Amino acid sequence: MAACTTFVKLNASSSSWIGQQSFNQRACAFPSRSRVSVVRASSSGSYTDELVKTAKSIASPGRGILAIDESNATCGKRLASIGLDNTEVNRQAYRQLLLTTPGLGDYISGAILFEETLYQSTTDGKKFVDCLRDECIVPGIKVDKGLSPLPGSNNESWCQGLDGLASRSAEYYKQGARFAKWRTVVSIPCGPSALAVKEAAWGLARYAAISQDNGLVPIVEPEILLDGDHPIERTLEVAEQVWAEVFYYLAENNVVFEGILLKPSMVTSGAEHKEKASPETIAKYTLTMLRRRVPPAVPGIMFLSGGQSEVEATLNLNAMNQSPNPWHVSFSYARALQNSVLKTWQGRPENAEAAQMALLVRAKANSLAQLGKYSAEGESEEAKKGMFVKGYTY
């Protein structure tokens, strides 16, 4: 697919350009098919149409999300793993490598950024958000402020970030972001307690309503952590409970479902369970859960990889796309897209091109998986290595 050929000439501020054009109207080869002629006014007021269009654009066939919203501390861990210091220059260099990969927009429809990255540019002075726009990739922004211990719970966490969220979201919109992401977690070994589930769901619902009110499509992410030795049936039970609560509170907060995306964990057994489930089993349990809990109005479900190896994450996604689903079922991967890239780059400029190729290889594999057409033949050993870290903190 050629880069988009028809778009309005840039103004001095890319954000006012983006204000005039929604991603779906341009010659990106992913037109929406179903028209939404009757859209109720809700608390998201003037942004409703744009939210719906943006969500559809991200949920386009053969594409998914590249998650590169690691906080500075977490990005530091990635850089340290290849012997680099955690400086702004290095973070900028790494993100530039990823975001200037030619042809990335063939497989990637959205990129989640950390706040620092949203305001950065390439070494040539081109804004990262413009690099993305040129590839028909929607820029997104992590808006939560991380996890804290939840008092009165069983050692569980809650996610913070509602204070000032409205004005931050409005600023991010001005800078060019069009979707947001908020990650909360639920732990099966810790229960989960009803309190933790309720807090996770309510926080997500409030965040979602505020996001929509300020023009950002909220990605709703209650990650059910892989930690634990529980069987897959237990994960199904917990996932159903969590999503029932999430959707109920989203409805209570008058969130427009046609303008959200989900980022669930797949339904698998716990990392320490004696048996590992096959991709077909994971697909069956995950799709059962989605069919029981996700209203068809939601346009896209972008799975997190949560410690699976690159190949596992792709195989599982592929298994879920062997027959039509009422929503776009795709990926929003961080480690499962970046692992090989980092290892190839090693921080050396002479490796940059090869590293970009590695990203395209993973992105294309997941694109095929979204279409149900992936085969694991020819995958490298590195790509098959698991990335589960017990007690992983972001």
Q: List interacting residues with other proteins (CB under 8 A).
A: 34, 37-38, 40, 233, 236-237, 240-241, 244, 247-248, 251-252, 257-258, 288, 290-297, 326
| Strand 157-159 to 147-149 pairing | antiparallel
User: Is 221 marked active-site?
Assistant: yes
Residue 30 vs 173, nearer CB to other proteins: 30
Whether 321 and 370 have beta carbons less than 8 Å apart is answered as: yes
Which of 50, 263, 310, 379 is catalytic? The answer is: 263
Residue 313: both structure tokens together: 């994450």
In this structure, which long-range contacts are made by residues 290-295, counting pairs with CB atoms below 8 Å and at least 24 apart in sequence?
A: 290/264, 290/325, 290/327, 290/329, 291/326, 292/240, 293/239, 293/240, 293/243, 293/244, 293/247, 294/243, 294/247, 294/262, 294/327, 295/247, 295/257
For residue 12, the cross-strand partners are none
DSSP string, 18-58: HHH--GGGSS-S----S--------TTGGGHHHHHHHHHHH
Cα atoms in the 13 Å half-sphere on the side-chain side of 201: 23
User: Shortest approach of other proteins to residue 278 CB, angstroms?
Assistant: 20
In the three-class reduction of DSSP (H, G, I as helix; E, B as strand; rest coil), residue 324 is classed as coil
325 φ/ψ angles, rounded to the nearest 5 degrees: -120, 155
Residue 172: how many other CB atoms lie within 10 Å: 27
Which position among 221, 258, 310, 312 bears the catalytic label? Answer: 221
CB of 42 to other proteins, least distance (A): 9
Give the nearer residue to other proteins in terms of CB position, either 63 or 293.
293
Q: How far is the CB of 292 from other proteins (least distance, A)?
A: 4
Q: Is 276 a catalytic residue?
A: no
Cβ 302 to other proteins, closest distance in Å? 18
Pairing label, strands 157-159, 138-142: unpaired
- Shortest separation between residue 347's beta carbon and other proteins, angstroms: 46
Looking at the Cβ atoms of 191 and 326, the one nearer to other proteins is 326
Residue 198 vs 343, nearer CB to other proteins: 198
| Residue closer to other proteins, measured from CB, 229 or 252 | 252
Find the shortest distance in angstroms from Cβ 31 to other proteins.
Answer: 15
Distance, CA of 181 to CA of 165 (rounded, Å): 12
Q: Could you tell me the CA-to-CA distances from 109 to 24, 65, 139, 227, 345 in Å, in that order?
A: 11, 6, 9, 30, 24
- Minimum CB distance to other proteins smaller for 40 or for 274: 40
Question: What is the rounded distance in angstroms from the CA atom of residue 199 to the CA atom of residue 132?
Answer: 34
Angle at 22 between CA 65 and CA 142, to 5 degrees: 40
Distance CA 103, CA 122 (A): 17
Toward other proteins, which CB reaches closer, 165 or 197? 197
Catalytic residues: 221, 263
